[in-house]
């Protein structure tokens, strides 16, 4: 039987994990909060170090969105602790988010973070989970390419904006080439509503209307 990984719209699987900050129950301990679980191939590697520093430097921005960060790799907790100490000593950056020690690979396997074509380490996976415990976005990157943490932050902001306003988010938001900071109004589902749209919103056509929020 093939392993079933959580997909967009699925409940994030329940798991108890050991982290650099003690035991953590997901998604239970994050109830009422958004959270980002992100895997890295290994401790003491250059690209992963740049990512950890970038995540940490944006941690206040994530928390302003009621969103927590959780790292993960197939390393022992002792390795995580020493690596975090090294980052503090060499980079003068203190990693404040917990890092899951998945030394048996159980969590990584359950989340589809191990891709045989890329070796036995975890790829750079990202799961964005909402405050009700549902997976909203999944990103996968190969080991060679470091993530753009600003895009992950933008993704959280975008999904929260979509939820709060019942709108869709355009490419590159909030700096879209066509509508700038605007958001997209859901398309009309009947003729009468379609006719009214151009008088209610800024529209390129009845099916492509947008507004500022």
Catalytic, out of 48, 67, 203, 209: 48
> Taking a C-beta distance cutoff of 8 angstroms, is the pair 139, 37 a contact?
no
> Taking a C-beta distance cutoff of 8 angstroms, is the pair 143, 41 a contact?
yes
pLDDT, tens digit only, all 213 positions of the chain: 355 789 999 999 999 999 999 999 999 999 999 999 999 999 999 999 999 999 999 999 999 999 999 999 998 999 999 999 999 999 999 999 999 998 888 888 899 888 888 777 788 999 999 999 999 999 999 889 999 999 999 999 999 999 999 999 999 999 999 999 999 999 899 999 999 999 999 999 999 999 999
209 is catalytic: no
> Taking a C-beta distance cutoff of 8 angstroms, is the pair 137, 6 a contact?
no
**Looking at the whole model, is its pTM more than 0.85?**
yes
pLDDT of residue 154: 98
| Structural domains of the chain in order of their starting residue, each with its CATH number | 15-147 (3.40.30.10), 166-213 (3.30.1020.10)
């Amino acid at each position: 039987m093939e392993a079933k990984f959580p997909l967009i719209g699925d409940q994030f699987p329940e798991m108890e994990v050991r982290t650099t900050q003690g035991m953590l129950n997901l998604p239970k301990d994050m109830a009422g909060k958004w959270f980002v679980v992100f895997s890295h191939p290994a401790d003491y590697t250059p690209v992963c170090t740049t990512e950890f520093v970038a995540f940490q430097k944006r941690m206040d921005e994530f928390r302003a969105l009621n969103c927590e960060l959780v790292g993960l790799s197939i390393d022992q907790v002792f390795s995580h602790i020493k690596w975090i100490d090294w980052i503090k000593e060499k980079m003068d950056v203190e990693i404040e988010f917990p890092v899951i020690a998945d030394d048996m690979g159980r969590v990584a396997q359950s989340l589809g973070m191990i891709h045989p074509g890329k070796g036995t380490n975890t790829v750079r996976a990202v799961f964005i989970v909402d405050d009700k415990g549902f997976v909203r976005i999944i990103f996968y990157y190969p080991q060679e390419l470091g993530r753009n943490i600003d895009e992950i932050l933008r993704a959280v902001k975008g999904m929260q904006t979509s939820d709060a306003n019942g709108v869709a988010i355009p490419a590159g938001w909030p700096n879209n080439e066509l509508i700038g900071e605007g958001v997209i109004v859901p398309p009309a589902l009947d003729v009468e509503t379609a006719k009214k749209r151009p008088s209610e919103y800024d529209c390129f056509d009845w099916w492509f209307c947008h507004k500022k929020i």
